[in-house]
Amino acid sequence: MSAIKPIAALMAVACAALAPTARADDDAAALRAELESLKSDYEARVASLEARLAALESGPTAAVAEVPAEAAAPVASASSASAFNPAISLVLAGSYADTSRDPEDWRMAGFMPNGGEVGLGERSFSLGESEITLAASVDPYFTAQLTAAIAGEDEIEVEEAYFRTLALPAGLVAKGGRFFSGFGYLNEVHAHAWDFADQPLVYQAMFGNQRAQDGVQLKWIAPTDLFVELGAETGNGDAFPGTRQGGNGLNGTTLFAHVGGDLGTNASWRIGGSWIDLDAEGREYEDVDANGDPVLNAFTGSSRTWVADAVFKWAPGGNPARRHLKLQGEYMECRESGELAFDLENAALVDSYRGTQSGWYLQGVWQFTPRWRAGLRYDALDSGDPAIGLVDSGLLAAGDFPSLLAGDPTRTTIMLDWNPSEFSRWRLQYAWDEARDDGDTDRQLVLQYLFGIGAHGAHKY
C-alpha cells in the first residue's frame, strides 16, 4: 500500500505537467488552421484584383470621372465572411417637366412605334427611374450583379442580372444573363449616368430607348498599349427590333469593336463600329388607317443595323476635377426587309416590306469650373421612304400607314447641371423638339435631380 501511494502521486504530477502541453498543441492547431484560411483568402483576393487590374490597364487611362457612379463589385472570396454581403447602391431620380405640347400624344414621325420612345414622360412633378444595384464577387472566378429599375408608375423591371468571369485566359471576359448590349457607346450606360435627361432620338426610334440582351457575351481585350476590344453577343432576341422566336435556339448576332488610346497627358479617344442582326416574327404595333380607325399591324422579317460611335475627352494636365470636355456622337443605319401585315384583327392583309432608316446625334459637355457643367446636343433622323407592297399594288393607300409616312425628326437640347458632390446632381435642361409628324415645335423644360447612395465605382470610359 505504501508503494502505491508514491506511484499515484507521480502519475498525478505527470498529468498536471502534460495538460498545458496538450492545450498548447490544440491552440497551435487552431491557429495554424486559421492562418491557412487567411492565406487562402488573401491569395483569392490578390488573384481577383490582378484580373481586374489587367482589364483596366488595357483600356484608355485618361478617363473622365462620372457622377454619380454605378456600383462596383467588391473583391471577396467564398471563404471570407464578406462574401455574403454584396455592395448595394441606390440611385434616386425625379424631375419637373414643363412642355408646350401634351407628352401623351408624342410620337416620332416615320418610325414604327416600339413602346420605348417615351420622350420626357409626364408634365409637372414625376418620379424618374430609380435604380437598385447589388454586386459582389462570387469567388475568384465570377462576379455577379443585379440592377432593378423602379419606375414612377410603381413598376419594377430587371434591367440587368448577369454573371461575369474573372479568370479566363488571354484577356477574354464572358458575361451571361440579362445585360445592356455592348454595341455603340451609350447603350451600356445606365440612365442616371447620361449627360442629358433623356436618350438621343436615334436610340428611342431604333432600339426602344435602350436594348437589353438575354443571352451571352464574349469580349477580348488585346494585350497592347493601344486599347483594342472585340466582342460578340447572342441571345433570345426578345427586345426591339427583334422578337423571341417560336422554336428553340438563339435569335440574333451582335458584333462590335472598339479602339482607343491617349493623346499625350491631356486627351483620350475611342472609336467603334457595331453590327446587329436580328429576326422579327409578328412584331406588332398600333396605328390608324386612312379613316382614323385604330388598326393592329405587324412586321415579320430581318432587321440589320450598323452603328458607328466616337468619343473624345480632354482635361488640362489629365485632371478632370476642375475642367474637362467630352465630345461624343453615334450614327446608326437600320435596314429591314420582310412582310408587313395590315389590320391583323380584321382585314389581315399581308405583302412585302422594305425600308432603310438612319439617324445620328452629336453632343458636347463642358465642365467649365468644379461642380458645374454645360452641354449641347443635336439629334437628327431620316425615316426614308419605305417600299410597302400593299401600297405599291394599289390595294391600300399610303395614308393607311401614317406612322410610316416619310419624316425627318430633329431636336436641339441644352443643359446646365450642378454637382454638389460625386453622389448628387441637379440638372436644368431645355429642348426644341421637332420629332412629331406635324412638324410643330415642342418646347420642353426639365429640372432633374439624381442622388446616389451606397457603394459606387467608376463608369465605363
416-427: pLDDT as tens digits:
999 999 899 999
The residue with greater pLDDT, 51 or 17, is 51
Q: Confirm whether 51 is domain-assigned.
A: no
Helix (H) or strand (E) holding 117: none
Among the residue ranges 1-15, 237-251, 309-323, 333-347, the one predicted with the least confidence is 1-15
Provide the pLDDT confidence category of residue 35 given band limits of 50, 70 and 90.
low
The DSSP symbol for 58 reads T
Cα torsion angle, 281, 286, 292, 294, sign: positive
Q: Which amino acid is at 52?
A: R
Quick check: helix, strand or coil at residue 67? coil
Q: Confirm whether 342 is domain-assigned.
A: yes
Q: Confirm whether 41 is domain-assigned.
A: no
Locate all alpha helices (DSSP H) within 133-235, ordered by sequence: 201-207
Q: Which of 134, 193, 88 shows the shortest CA–CA distance to 422?
A: 193
Q: What is the largest CA-CA distance in the chain?
A: 129
Res 117: pLDDT: 73
Q: Confirm whether 411 is domain-assigned.
A: yes
- What mean pLDDT, rounded, does the chain reach? 84
Q: Confirm whether 54 is domain-assigned.
A: no
Provide the pLDDT confidence category of residue 155 given band limits of 50, 70 and 90.
confident
Q: Confirm whether 60 is domain-assigned.
A: no
The DSSP symbol for 250 reads -
Once rounded to an integer, what is the mean pLDDT over residues 142-167?
91
State how many domains the chain has: 1
- Report pLDDT digits (tens) over 107-144: 889 999 888 777 677 889 988 888 999 999 998 999 99
Taking the C-alpha atoms of residue 351 and residue 349, their distance in angstroms, rounded to an integer, is 7
Cα torsion angle, 261, 264, 265, 269, sign: negative
Provide the pLDDT confidence category of residue 317 given band limits of 50, 70 and 90.
confident
Share of the chain above pLDDT 90, in %: 65
- CATH number of the CATH domain containing 267: 2.40.160
pTM of structure: 0.81
Provide the pLDDT confidence category of residue 16 given band limits of 50, 70 and 90.
very low
Provide the pLDDT confidence category of residue 455 given band limits of 50, 70 and 90.
confident
Owning domain of residue 401? 93-126+170-454
Residue 330 has pLDDT above 50, yes or no: yes
Q: Confirm whether 45 is domain-assigned.
A: no
Residue 114, CA atoms < 13 Å, CB-side half-sphere = 26
Share of the chain above pLDDT 70, in %: 81
Highest-scoring range by mean pLDDT, 14-23, 325-334, 446-455: 325-334
Provide the pLDDT confidence category of residue 454 given band limits of 50, 70 and 90.
confident
Once rounded to an integer, what is the mean pLDDT over residues 326-347?
96
Provide the pLDDT confidence category of residue 105 given band limits of 50, 70 and 90.
confident
φ, ψ for residue 219 (rounded to 5)?
Answer: -115, 150
Res 318: pLDDT: 83
Highest-scoring range by mean pLDDT, 28-37, 218-227, 314-323: 218-227
Q: CB of 440 within 8 A of CB of 325?
A: no
Provide the pLDDT confidence category of residue 65 given band limits of 50, 70 and 90.
very low
Q: Which amino acid is at 363?
A: Q
Q: Which of 199, 285, 275 shows the shortest CA–CA distance to 240?
A: 285
Q: Confirm whether 420 is domain-assigned.
A: yes
Q: CB of 300 within 8 A of CB of 341?
A: yes
Among the residue ranges 43-57, 117-131, 304-318, 333-347, the one predicted with the least confidence is 43-57
Once rounded to an integer, what is the mean pLDDT over residues 422-440?
92
Res 19: pLDDT: 45
